[in-house]
Every structure is written in C-alpha cells, then in structure tokens.
Amino acid sequence: MTSEFAVELRDVVKRFITPEGNELNAVDHVTMQIKNGEFFSMLGSSGCGKTTSLRMIAGFEWPTEGEVFIEGKPMGHTPPFQRKVNTVFQSYALFQHMTVYQNIAFGLEMEGAKEDEIKKRVGRALEMVQLTGMERRRPKQLSGGQQQRVAVARALVKTPDVLLLDEPLGALDLKLRKEMQLELKALQQQLGITFIYVTHDQEEALTMSDRIAVMSKGRVQQLATPVEIYERPVNKFVADFIGESNFLDGKIKSISKDEAVVHVPALNAELKGMPMSNNFVNGEEVAISIRPEKVRIVEHGTKGDGLFKAKVLTSVYIGSDTHVYVDLEGIRLKVMEQNRISRLDPSSFYSKDQVVTLLFMPENTLVLKKD
Amino acid sequence: MLQRLRENKSMQGTLLALPTTLWLFVLLIIPLFLTLVVSFGQRSPDGDVIYSFGLHNYIRLFGYSTDCANGQASCFDPLYVNILSRSLSLAFNTTVIVIMMAYPLAYFIARSNPNRRNMFLFMVLIPLWTNFVIRVYAWMMLLRKEGAINIILGWLASGFNVIFAPLAGWFPEMAGVFHINFVPLELLYTPGAVLVGMVYEFLPFMILPIYTSLEKIDNSLYEAAADLGANAFRTFLRVTLPLSMPGVVAGTILVFIPVMGTFIVSDILGGRQVILVGNLIQRQFLDARDPTFGSAASLILMVMTLIVTYFYTRKFGFGEEIIAA
Amino acid sequence: MNPHRRSPWVIAAATFVYFFLYAPIVVLILYSFNASRANVKFEGFISSFSDRVEMDGSYVVASPCGPFHWYCDLSKNDDVMEAAGNTLTIAVTATLAATTIGTMAALALQRYDFKIKPFSQLSLYIPIVIPEIVMGIGILTLFSQAFGWLNEALNLVGDARLALGIGTVTVSHIAFMVPFVTLVVQARLQGFDKSYEEAAMDLGANEWTTFWRVTFPMILPGVLSGALLAFTLSLDDFVITFFTNGPGSTTLPIYVYGLLRRIITPQVNALSTVWILTVFIAVMLLQWLQSREQKPAHS
C-alpha cells in the first residue's frame, strides 16, 4: 500500500475568479514529491500558493487541473474526512464548546474507537505534547502555546500518515516560537511521520526542514535542502528571498559547466562565478549574487583576481557581527564580518570614507538567470 | 448522488434557502401580486371580487367622485386624499416627537454607569414586551373623561381654588380669575389622543437603536474633543450627534413605517373621528366589504411608505443598528 | 470630561420619559383591583372577603378572592383560557418552523452563492419595510380567493371546507417571523471561522456530523436569540392574526381587542396585569440563565 512518496502533486493548478472577474492561478502547474518521513516545508510570502497547495492535500480544495496523490493513490474529489492526513490550523480551530479531552477525542470518536481505547490514546497524546492533566480545561482557559499543543495533539492522536501544519507558530511570541520549533522537529523525528509545514518565516524553514519548496506566484521556484537553497539559489528570486544578497548586473562573456565569466559594466571588469543554470548563452544578461558574509575585506596590496577597491559608507556594530556598507563604483554593497577580534579599539572600526579592498571569490559568486 | 451534491456548492445553497424562499413566495410575493390584481377589479354584489381591469379604485382614491353635491357629473372629493395626508403627517409628527423624547433617554442610559445600564435598558424593554393592544387600552383609561388625567387635572384645579379662595373672597369682582370651574376635558377620541397613543407605542423602538449607536462612541472621542477645546454643547453638536445618526435613522424606519399602517391606535383612541389609511383598509375588508378598493388603498400605502423610506435612506443611510435585540 | 457626566436637563428628561412609559401601566394594574365593575372611575379596593360575590349595583362589596376578585373571575373565563391556549400553540409551532427554515436560509445566504440568492434576499427584506397591514390583507386575499376557488373545485362542504383558522394564522406567522430569524442568525454567522468546520472534517467527520457536533453548537446562541425574537413576535402579533383568524382561533391580543369594543370590566385589567407579570418573570428568568451561562466553566 505504500508508494515511494508520501504525497505527490502532479502539475497541479488551482484557478480562482477574482472579484473583478479575472482568472487567477493561485497554484500554477506545481509538481512536488514529498518523501516518507521527511520534514518538508513550503516557504514563501502571502499569496504564493503555499497554503492553497496544503489545503488541496488536506482536501479542503480540489485542484482545477492536475492530481494530488497520497501514498500513491490519486485523491480526485475525495473529501477531507476520507483522507488519512490531518491538519494543524493556523488559528488552531479548537472546538470552543468542548474540553481539551473532547477536542482530542473527537477524531477518535469519528473512527468509532471504544471508550477505553480513546482514553488511552488521548492520554498518550497529551503526554506527547506535555499537557497531561489539562483534560477538563476549555480552550478559552489555555494560553496560546497550550492551545497550539492541543491542536497538534488532536491531529497526531489519529496517527496519520502525513501531518499538515499551516503556519502553526505564527501567533506565538518569539521565545515561545523558537521553543516550539525545536519541539515540533523533535516530535517529527521521534514519530517518524511525514510533516508538511507551511511558513513565511525563512529562518523557521531553514532550521526545521529536511527539504524546502520556495514558492512565489503559485510556482515552485526551487525545491532542495536548506543548504542548497541558501548556497546555491537557482534564480534571482530565491537568492533575494532567502537571506541577504548583493546583486550586480552583467553579461555572459564565456560559459562552461563549472565556471562563468561575466562582464560587469558598472565595474568595467570581469568576474568569475558559478553558473546556477544549465542554459546560459554568451551575451545573455544575468544577475550576479554575492552574499554579504561571502565578501571578504582583505589587506591592501593583496594580489589575485576578483579584487576591487571600495569606499566605506557606514559601519554598523551588531555585537557578534559588523555590517559594513560600501560604495563600489557607485553601487552600494553590504559586507558582513564576524567580530572575531574584539572591537574595543576604535581604530579597528571601519570609518566613513575609508578605502577598503574587497575580494569576490568565484565559488561564492553566483551567476543567476535574470527573471 | 451525495458526491454530486458535495461538489455543487451552488446547489447546496439553493436547497438550504429553498423552504424559506418558497414560503415567502407563496405568502408574501403572491399576496402582493394578488393585491395588485384585485385592486384593478370590481366589487361583486356579495362583496367578492370580479376580476377585471380598471383604474376606478385608484381614481377614486385620488379624489375623483361621481357622487357630487350640486348635480355635477364629477367633482373632486378630497376624502381619501385627506386620509392619506393625515396618515403621512401623523407618521411624521409621531417620528419627530419620538425622536425628541427618545434621544435624551438613550443618551442618559448610554452615559450612565455600566453596572446600572442593563437595568435602565430593561426598564425600557418591559413596556415593549407588554402587548400592543394592552398598551393602547392603558391610554384609553388615562384619557377618558373619568380617567386618571382628568382626575389629576381636577385635583390641581381644586387645589388652585382652595389656595386662591381667600383672594376670591377679597376681590369678588375678579372672582373669575381665582376660581377655576373645571370641566373634564374631552381627551379621548381626538387626533391628539391618537398622536399620544402612537408616540407611546413606538417610543421604545427609537430608544434602543439610538442607545446602541451612542454606546458605540468611544469615550476617548469625548476626551479628544475636550482636549481640542470644545465645550459640552459643541461636543454634542459636532461629535455625538453625527455619530448617533445611524441609530436615529434605524429608529425612524422602525417608527415611521408601522405608524403609517397602524389602525388599532386610531380605532381605539380615535373612535370614528380619526380615520387613517389603516382604518380605511381595515373597514374595506370587514365592514364595507369592498376588497378591491381596500387592495388599491393598501397598495398606495405600500408605495408611499417605500418612496419615503427610499429617499430617507438615500439621504441618511440605512442604520445597521436595526437589530437591537 | 467625566464620561458619566449627567447634566440636570438630561436627567430630568430621562425621568420624564420613564414616567411617561410607566404611568399608564401602573394605572392599568391599579384598576385591576377596582371595586367598580363598570371600571369607569376607581372606586377603591374590594376589602371584604366573603363566600359569595356581593354586589351593590355595579359595585363589588365583597368577594371570595377579596381584592383579587377580578383575577379569580379571569380564571373562570373559558374564552380567555382558550385564547391563551391558541396563542401559545401558534407561537410554539410557528417558532419551531420559522427558526428551522430561517437558520437554514441564514446559512445559505451567508456562505453560498446561488442562482436564486438575490430573490431570496429581496423576499426576506420586504416584510421589514412594508407596513404589517399590507401583508395582512394580502394574505387574507390569498386565502379567501384560494379557499373559495378550492372549496368549489373540490366540492368541499361543511367541516371539510377550507377556512381561516389556527392553520392559516400559524402559516402566516411563520411568514412574517422568518425574516427576523434569518437576520439575527445571519448577524451571528458573520465572522464565523470556517476553520472549525474544516478541522472537524479533517478529523473524520462528514458534513452532517460536522454540522451537528461543531457548527450548530457554536451558532446556537444566535439561533436561540432568533427563536426568542420570533416567539415574542408571534405572541404579541395583532395585525396579521386579525386578518387571518377565524372562529376558534382567537388569540389573546384579538380577544382583548374584542373586549375593548364591548364591555370593559376590570377583568381586562386583570388579564393585562397577568400578561405583564408573566413577561416580566420570563425575562428575569432568561437574564438569570444567561448570566449563569457566561460564567467560565472551571474544571
């Protein structure tokens, strides 16, 4: 009964008619394969299609085109109560008129489980989220964090194949959110079931996920592990959305499998970098991305390629890092340096109008398609 | 089949709304339509309807009469037009008086101590829940020649006489000034009685919406106004009054429309002296038994009400505080 | 500025209005103890108790019930009892029906788009903006014409003849109550978070179970409000009942109206007082129940 993938979306489209009468593809030809037992995230800002995709997996929406597969079976128009997936809602959706126990027991009741079994399983679920003893409380009497755990327990008590989580930590304050992130990750690893997690918080996605699907305008921009997404973004959107990037415009001068030579008009120089796409052509206009922490400030007089002189605009001390904003031939760049040495000595700061030498290393200079 | 229903959201909506829609279609839409049809008909000898098409009923309503005093073939009989205008002016007067009485009370309750507020509201609601007919009867008792009002006036008069008796004795020529010969006033069966009755009936319907909209005004608005230099009067004029308008509008609609159509108040408190549109219609259907004429009058009443309501809401909006309960 | 500031003018006006509202009711209740049967002037309380009613002209000297003579009189009045029974029967039946179909309609209007939606909304809107009498005589016309035609066409005679009665009154009440129920329930449905229902379905409940276990309990306060409003409207209704009732279907308001046109004894006042008291007690009961419900449940 098992298939290779826990959940699969094949060329799924979800089309809506806007109030003005136009057609809008909220999900635009999305294909993804989510593996059994992985922690999979869909990351993007509002309106990118991540929530709609999740809802189609859960069964609250049906695809306009394409198909959703769960455990290899096409779902078609199967309603949610016939799918072996469960959801943790953004607003928790705890039944206000029921106690915690009744909330968690609800799903088991629907399965027709017997009283003793329900009691046992509810008890175990509460243990799992560390809320033993709260059975008779009502949702209104719980804190945000507690409500969130009840929502998780309610979904997990049914031992689904896949757990869907729709921005579950959005309503919590920072400290609690970070705690819950760790707890959820630990829970997933302990239970070994597939988690599909929707969020707009990239740090959250990067911390918790085995793989991430970065989405924008209804399309999957990149689907890869956190490290790949961060270090090797495939296009300008992903490079810009994840972390921070410095961008330069350029034209391909020569291209090979592992190296691209790009002419940057603004610097009147050439940069060597890593091509992030397979189909660049000579003369193509591209975007170059270099992350702030990858730009090195080196001693004047260093010899080699990729060295440029720039003027310091301002320097911001963050504590563990220093952010230096420089002017390179009229382009404003951000450089981030870890404060490996203490900055107590004022002369160790970068002062305004000071000239520094920047080093761009080819393996960190990414050549991206301009979209 | 269930699956087909599941997929067709539009059908689900239709099914849910169908019983109500059908019910109203049969008991509201069709009757209105039927009233229209009947209004063009003629009265049969036994008071039933002969279905035909003619505008005679409407013409008659607007004053055309063939039963003329000086043998003319046709003349203008303002009887029915008078009834219509009397109803309009009564509705208008009632609404104005009700607003003037309801506003202070609503204001009082809205600005009172929150703990006591429910009690004050409660005190407004109790007369409302007392039956309409009973409330009219209560006024009938008060307004009669031997009713409470006349009794009290009589006491006041005798009190006056007692106090000023010595003066009447000293100045016999001016005895008339110092002595009131009290004759019980004929308060019942007058247009005034009907007006008082209408005001009484519909007062709570204005108090509640005005209260609701006043209560919604955040206290910080008053503080801001004071901070900016407005005294109590100007605050009321420029802040409170405009913000309470939705309530006034809602209340007006709740008062004006029923007053236009009420016949029981004029029946009991006005006797045969005060005839409103409601009475006219009522009589056509029961006493004089001309349902065609009554239907025409009913339709004219509805149209008049809709026209007034339309222009009123266009100018003032449609106060959403209609649901006060 | 003191938010509870009260200017003397406002207090005076408020007092006057309260007085205006209550004076007639107080007088009404007072006269229910009137010793004078003619009930024209207040002749004092019936002070003496006796085994049988003793009259002096139109003046009740003594009575088994003492000052409450007219209340006892009332309890022996079969017509009143019948009218009260009718009123309740009609109100309960109509409320049940109107609440059911009204709640369904509210759900439909709030959550779905369907072809007849504008028509449904318009139909629900109309009874609120037209005078009751227009609806009343419209329905009367419908019934009289329809019954007349049906009686002839189906050759009904005697008891089988379709006529105005409890049925027609009930059916008409439902018609004018439904818009109010729908309005109230719709107001409560606004802002109802659909994710509760999605959660229920996600956990394995089908549409029917979801509605009864999750949706309905959550909208129940709104539905009850609507039902209560409907019940009150039916109990109190005069105009629609006036035009649609027949022999044997008299309700209390109609009965009182009938009395007012004939002989007015303090019995009418007694009836009114009993009515007022009943409403008062019922409302106090409701308030008390509501305040109990709002106390948070502690485990």
Residue from C113, C202, C219 to probe the interface with A (highest A Cβ count within 10 Å): C202
Q: How near does any CA of chain C get to the CA of A116, in Å?
A: 19
Among the listed residues B321, B99, B325, the one whose alpha carbon sits nearest the alpha carbon of residue B199: B99
DSSP calls for C25-43: HHHHHHHTTBSBTT-SS--
Which residues numbered 169-198 in C keep a CB inside 8 Å of some CB on A? 193, 195-196, 198
Q: What is the pLDDT of residue B79?
A: 82
CA distance C70 to C53: 11
- Which residues of chain A carry a pLDDT beneath 50? 1
A155 touches chain C (CB under 8 A): yes
The rounded mean pLDDT for chain C is 85
Is residue A210 helix, strand or coil? coil
Is residue C299 predicted with pLDDT exceeding 50?
no
CA distance B23 to B118: 37
DSSP, res C214: I
Question: Is B20 close to C280, i.e. CB distance below 8 A?
Answer: no
- Interhelix angle B277-286/B79-110, rounded to 10 degrees, is 120
State the ipTM, two decimals: 0.83
Is residue B321 predicted with pLDDT exceeding 60?
no
- Condensed to tens digits (0 to 9), the pLDDT of residues C118-136 reads 999 999 989 988 899 999 9
How large is the average pLDDT for residues C48-61?
75
Residue C187: is it exposed, middle or buried by C-beta count within 10 angstroms (0-12/13-18/19+)?
middle
Neighbouring residues of C186: CB distance < 8 A, sequence distance ≥ 6: C106, C109, C110
Which residues numbered 56-85 in A keep a CB inside 8 Å of some CB on C? 58-60, 79-81, 85
Q: How near does any CA of chain B get to the CA of A82, in Å?
A: 12
Q: How many helices (H) does chain C have, and how many strands (E)?
A: 12, 3
Estimate to the nearest angstrom the gap between the alpha carbon of C7 and the chain centroid: 38
Amino acid at B29: I
Annotation: CATH topology of C78-261: MetI-like fold (1.10.3720)
Among the listed residues A224, A221, A168, A215, the one whose alpha carbon sits nearest the alpha carbon of residue A368: A221
Choice among A267-281, B111-125, C148-162, C223-237 with the minimum mean pLDDT: C148-162
Residue C170, φ and ψ in degrees, nearest 5: -60, -50
Q: What is the pLDDT of residue C294?
A: 57
How large is the average pLDDT for residues C98-113?
92
Q: Which residues from C are below 8 Å from B295, CB to CB?
A: 137, 141
Q: Among all residues of chain C, which has the CA nearest to that of A58?
A: C202
Q: Which residues from A are below 8 Å from B7, CB to CB?
A: 62, 77
Neighbouring residues of C104: CB distance < 8 A, sequence distance ≥ 6: B16, B17, B19, B20
Q: Which residues from A are below 8 Å from C218, CB to CB?
A: 96-97
Q: Which residues from A are below 8 Å from B2, CB to CB?
A: none
Q: In 10 A of CB A288, how many CB atoms?
A: 23
CB environment A237-267: b (16+ within 10 A), e (fewer):
bbbebbbebbbbebebeebeeeebbbebeeb
Question: Is C218 close to A96, i.e. CB distance below 8 A?
Answer: yes
DSSP, res A363: G
**What is the signed CA dihedral for A33, A36, A38, A40, rounded to 10 degrees?**
30
- Condensed to tens digits (0 to 9), the pLDDT of residues B37-89 reads 999 988 887 778 888 888 888 888 887 776 677 766 677 777 888 888 899 99
CA distance C34 to C32: 5
Q: Among all residues of chain A, which has the CA nearest to that of B6?
A: A79
Q: What is the 3-state secondary structure (H, E, C) of chain A?
A: CCCCEEEEEEEEEEEEECCCCCEEEEEEEEEEEEECCCEEEEECCCCCCHHHHHHHHHCCCCCCEEEEEECCEECCCCCHHHCCEEEECCCCCCCCCCCHHHHHHHHHHHHCCCHHHHHHHHHHHHHHCCCCCCCCCCHHHCCHHHHHHHHHHHHHCCCCCEEEEECCCCCCCHHHHHHHHHHHHHHHHHHCCEEEEEECCHHHHHHHCCEEEEEECCEEEEEECHHHHHHCCCEHHHHHHCCCCEEEEEEEEEECCCCEEEEECCCCEEEEEEECCCCCCCCCEEEEEECHHHCEEECCCCCCCCEEEEEEEEEEECCCEEEEEEEECCEEEEEEEECCCCCCCHHHCCCCCCEEEEECCHHHCEEEECC
Q: How near does any CA of chain C get to the CA of B65, in Å?
A: 25
Report the relative pairing of strands A331-338 and C54-56 from DSSP bridges: unpaired
DSSP calls for A95-140: -TTS-HHHHHHHHHHHHT--HHHHHHHHHHHHHHTT-TT-TT--GG
Q: Which residues from B are below 8 Å from A62, CB to CB?
A: 7
Q: How many helices (H) does chain A have, and how many strands (E)?
A: 8, 20
Neighbouring residues of B245: CB distance < 8 A, sequence distance ≥ 6: B213, B316, B317, B319
DSSP, res B66: S
DSSP, res B29: I
If you average pLDDT over each of A338-352, B94-108, B122-136, which comes out highest? B94-108
Q: How near does any CA of chain B get to the CA of C51, in Å?
A: 31
Q: In 10 A of CB B27, how many CB atoms?
A: 24
Is residue C192 predicted with pLDDT exceeding 70?
yes
Looking at chain A, list the stretches that DSSP marks H as alpha helix, in order from N- to C-terminal side: 50-58, 100-111, 115-128, 144-156, 174-191, 202-208, 226-231, 236-241
Annotation: CATH topology of A5-236: Rossmann fold (3.40.50)
CATH homologous superfamily of domain B81-144+187-322? MetI-like (1.10.3720.10)
Q: Which residues from C are below 8 Å from A110, CB to CB?
A: 203-205, 209
Domain ranges of chain A: 5-236, 237-369
Neighbouring residues of A332: CB distance < 8 A, sequence distance ≥ 6: A313, A325, A326
Q: Which two tokens stand for residue C20?
A: 């205006």
Q: What is the pLDDT of residue C2?
A: 47
Q: Among all residues of chain C, which has the CA nearest to that of B97?
A: C17
Among the listed residues A292, A306, A300, A299, the one whose alpha carbon sits nearest the alpha carbon of residue A338: A292
A137 touches chain C (CB under 8 A): yes
Which residue is associated with the tokens 């002369």?
A347
Q: What is the pLDDT of residue B114?
A: 83
C294 touches chain A (CB under 8 A): no
Question: Is B16 close to C104, i.e. CB distance below 8 A?
Answer: yes
- pLDDT confidence of C6, banded at 50, 70, 90? low
Q: Which two tokens stand for residue C288?
A: 């008390």
Domain ranges of chain C: 8-73, 78-261
A316 touches chain C (CB under 8 A): no
DSSP calls for B174-232: GHHHH---------TTSHHHHHHHHHHHHHHHHHHHHHHHHHTS-HHHHHHHHHTT--H
Confirm if B103 and C19 have CB atoms less than 8 A apart.
no
Residue from B3, B5, B8, B12 to probe the interface with A (highest A Cβ count within 10 Å): B3
Neighbouring residues of B168: CB distance < 8 A, sequence distance ≥ 6: B161, B174, B175, B178, B179
- pLDDT confidence of C297, banded at 50, 70, 90? very low
Q: What is the pLDDT of residue C91?
A: 94
Chains B–C, number of C-beta pairs less than 8 Å apart:
282
Among the listed residues A118, A100, A121, A97, the one whose alpha carbon sits nearest the alpha carbon of residue A109: A118
C296 touches chain A (CB under 8 A): yes
Give the H or E element holding residue C98.
helix C78-111
Residues recorded for chain C: 299
How large is the average pLDDT for residues B216-225?
83
Among the listed residues C196, C193, C223, C222, the one whose alpha carbon sits nearest the alpha carbon of residue C210: C196
- Condensed to tens digits (0 to 9), the pLDDT of residues B280-319 reads 888 888 876 788 989 999 999 999 888 888 888 787 765 5
Please give the CATH number for the structural domain made up of A237-369.
Answer: 2.40.50.100
CA distance C55 to C38: 12
- pLDDT confidence of C296, banded at 50, 70, 90? very low
pLDDT over 70 for what percent of chain C? 95
How large is the average pLDDT for residues B112-133?
84
Question: Is A95 close to C203, i.e. CB distance below 8 A?
Answer: no
- Condensed to tens digits (0 to 9), the pLDDT of residues A338-368 reads 888 777 777 778 888 999 999 999 999 999 9
The rounded mean pLDDT for chain B is 84
C101 touches chain B (CB under 8 A): yes
Domain ranges of chain B: 81-144+187-322
Looking at chain B, list the stretches that DSSP marks H as alpha helix, in order from N- to C-terminal side: 2-7, 9-24, 30-39, 56-61, 79-110, 114-129, 132-143, 148-170, 175-178, 191-215, 219-227, 232-235, 241-261, 264-270, 277-286, 291-316
Question: Is A110 close to C209, i.e. CB distance below 8 A?
Answer: yes
